Amino acid sequence: MKKRLLFYELIKHLDTKEALVITGMRQVGKTTLIKQIFEELGDTPKLWFDFDNPLDQKTFEDIDYNNIYKRLKNMANSSKITVFLDEIQNFPEITKVIKYLIDHHKVKFIVTGSSNYYMRNLFPESLSGRKFLFNLAPLSFSEYLYLKEQISFSEAGGVMKLEKSIRNSNIFLHKKFEEEYSIYIKYGGFPGVIVAEGNERKKLILKNIFKSFFEKDIKVLADYSDVKELRDLLLLLVPRVGSMLDITKISSELGIVRSKVYRYMEYLEGIFVIKLLPKYSKSIDRAVAGGKKVYFSDTGLLNTIGNVNDGQAFENTLVNQLSPYGELSFYNKRNKSEIDIIVDKKIAFEAKLKGSEHDVRSLKKNCEKLGIKKYFVVSKDITGENKNIISPQVF
């Protein structure tokens, strides 16, 4: 089985003392990823625990953490151990154990968790300075092509940065993968969906992913009315993809207070279902205070929940493709001047179904106001040779 690009980053840190923590949505391949690392270690003393299984949790249920270490040492028949823990959000107490065993017994941990919502609450104190945190997202389009053996590892981005990807844009590459890109927009980047044969099979897998999200992640919301409100919020967010959110209006439509909407939004972002892009600002405080635009972390999931137009689906896909390259924001001035995506406040992108010279001039004008020197119109359909109109297939 081909390995995700993150695999090659993770193995660089196998000899460090820090715990490697891999977060991400359900079904993006976190378990497969750490199983591949488990196999990569060969005969190195190692242990595997799945915290979806209560019996695996029992090994770590002891008020004396030295007893836990003795237990692990006996199981591995070694004092130097690498411990793999899958789905640690199911056993929050584990972070204190990890901290102790790192500090006192130099145990190496490689762990996964499906919820950044929990990770933020668990890790800042208990594992401060003792972890490297990685996010495994659904596949980018270049990873999608790599998984389907249509491009090489280096072409998939294994050694690529954003500007190198941009330079690779050309009409021949665009036309070559045009059909595949349309499939990618419709069904997204979950590995199981990509390798599934037939559209009906893909749709069924996406429905099951959405179902498991409610069955496993939403169970923390004990009140049935909260689950219904969260479901209704998701349905309200779909037609708002790519738009600035009006929380007051959303709270009115749901019939709940604004503070509850904010809590739900934080939760949905924390379990990686949605992404919230802040307004571009040179001031951090103003960026936090300004309105945000909403996108879904996978367009296959988005299309399973509701319907969006072609422009929204394309813009959402591009946001997901650009997310690994840096911090994203958007520019909006009185709903007249707009830039869809700005990466690290340095490179601007405008998503267009059919980019034109006029779009380039308009983007250039907006970028000059902000002092942004690099800008590109990303066009789903390319016919010309303007160097500032590029293909989305390079990301």
> DSSP for 109-134?
EEEEES-HHHHHHHHHHHTTTSEEEE
What's the pLDDT tens digit per position in 118-128?
666 555 556 67
For the sheet with 46-50, list strands across it.
46-50, 82-86, 108-113, 19-23, 131-135
Structural contact between residues 83 and 47, judged by C-beta atoms closer than 8 angstroms:
yes
Average pLDDT, integer, range 104-119: 84
Contacts of 114 (CB under 8 A, 6+ apart): 23, 24, 25, 26, 30, 87, 89, 216, 217, 271, 272
Q: Between the CA of residue 147 and those of 4, 10, 25, 195, 362, what are the distances in Å?
A: 8, 18, 19, 8, 37
Average pLDDT, integer, range 359-370: 95
What's the pLDDT tens digit per position in 194-223?
999 999 999 999 999 998 887 777 665 556
What is the identity of the amino acid at 53? N
pLDDT of residue 119: 62
Q: Between the CA of residue 12 and those of 29, 61, 78, 101, 218, what are the distances in Å?
A: 19, 31, 23, 22, 35
Q: Between the CA of residue 340 and those of 29, 33, 330, what are the distances in Å?
A: 29, 33, 5
**What whole-number distance in Å separates Cα of residue 152 and Cα of residue 145?**
9
**What whole-number distance in Å separates Cα of residue 95 and Cα of residue 84?**
13
Most confident of 84-93, 219-228, 322-331: 322-331
Domain C-terminal end among 111, 135, 159: 135
Instruction: Output the furthest CA–CA distance in the chain (Å, rounded).
Output: 69
Q: Do residues 183 and 211 both lie within one domain?
A: yes
**What whole-number distance in Å separates Cα of residue 373 and Cα of residue 346?**
7
Q: Do residues 103 and 186 both lie within one domain?
A: no
Whether 93 shows a pLDDT value over 90: the answer reads no
Contacts of 112 (CB under 8 A, 6+ apart): 21, 22, 23, 24, 30, 31, 33, 34, 85, 86, 87, 88
Contacts of 42 (CB under 8 A, 6+ apart): none
Q: Do residues 107 and 184 both lie within one domain?
A: no
Q: Between the CA of residue 360 and those of 160, 374, 378, what are the distances in Å?
A: 25, 11, 10
Average per-residue pLDDT for the chain: 89
CATH number of the domain where residue 72 is located: 3.40.50.300
Q: Do residues 60 and 174 both lie within one domain?
A: no
**What whole-number distance in Å separates Cα of residue 233 and Cα of residue 253?**
9
Q: Do residues 69 and 166 both lie within one domain?
A: no
Whether 285 shows a pLDDT value over 80: the answer reads no
Domain C-terminal end among 113, 135, 157: 135
Q: Do residues 30 and 61 both lie within one domain?
A: yes
Q: Do residues 131 and 146 both lie within one domain?
A: no
Q: Do residues 49 and 188 both lie within one domain?
A: no
What's the pLDDT tens digit per position in 213-264?
877 776 655 565 688 888 899 999 999 999 999 999 999 999 999 999 998 9
pLDDT of residue 289: 44
DSSP for residue 82: E
Structural contact between residues 341 and 328, judged by C-beta atoms closer than 8 angstroms:
yes
Structural contact between residues 29 and 301, judged by C-beta atoms closer than 8 angstroms:
no
Strand partners, 241: 294
Token pair listed for 262: 């904010």
> What is the number of structural domains in the chain?
2
**What whole-number distance in Å separates Cα of residue 87 and Cα of residue 110?**
11
Confidence class for position 10, pLDDT limits 50, 70, 90: very high
Structural contact between residues 280 and 344, judged by C-beta atoms closer than 8 angstroms:
no
Domain C-terminal end among 135, 156, 179: 135
Q: Do residues 99 and 236 both lie within one domain?
A: no
Q: Do residues 146 and 124 both lie within one domain?
A: no
Rounded to the nearest 5 degrees, what angle is found at the Cα of 120, between the Cα atoms of 115 and 122?
Answer: 95
- For the chain, give the percent of residues with pLDDT over 90: 68
Structural contact between residues 352 and 379, judged by C-beta atoms closer than 8 angstroms:
yes
Sign, CA dihedral 149-152-153-158, equals negative
Tell me which residue range forms the domain holding 207: 141-394
Whether 346 shows a pLDDT value over 50: the answer reads yes
Whether 110 shows a pLDDT value over 60: the answer reads yes
- For the chain, give the percent of residues with pLDDT over 70: 91
pLDDT of residue 243: 93
pLDDT of residue 237: 97
Q: Do residues 59 and 123 both lie within one domain?
A: yes
Q: Do residues 161 and 276 both lie within one domain?
A: yes
